[in-house]
Amino acid sequence: ASVSTDKRLIVHGIGQAANAHDGGIYGVSWINDSRLLTISADKKLKCWTLSGNDTISLQVEIDLEE
């Protein structure tokens, strides 16, 4: 997976989530085979799930400013 400052989360071989965050995305890390985390300039941590039908779905969003 890769991310970019243009707010995209790209999971190679699966697809992408355009505007995955409200700010540039600076980090991505796999939790397991079907879940990953992203962190962004919008001060949010998001957990994403990949489903069997090649979709990327937001599962949890944590605001780091609180």
Confidence of residue 64 (pLDDT cuts 50, 70, 90): very high
Q: How far apart are CA 57 and CA 66, in angstroms?
A: 24
Q: How far apart are CA 33 and CA 41, in angstroms?
A: 25
Which SS3 state, helix, strand or coil, does residue 13 take?
A: coil
pLDDT higher than 80, residue 66: no
Contact 51, 64 (CB under 8 A): no
Strand partners, 60: 47
- Based on the number of CB atoms within 10 Å of its own CB, is 47 exposed (0-12), middle (13-18) or buried (19 or more)? middle
Which tokens go with 17?
Answer: 């989530």
* pTM of this structure: 0.90
Percentage of the chain beyond pLDDT 70 is 98
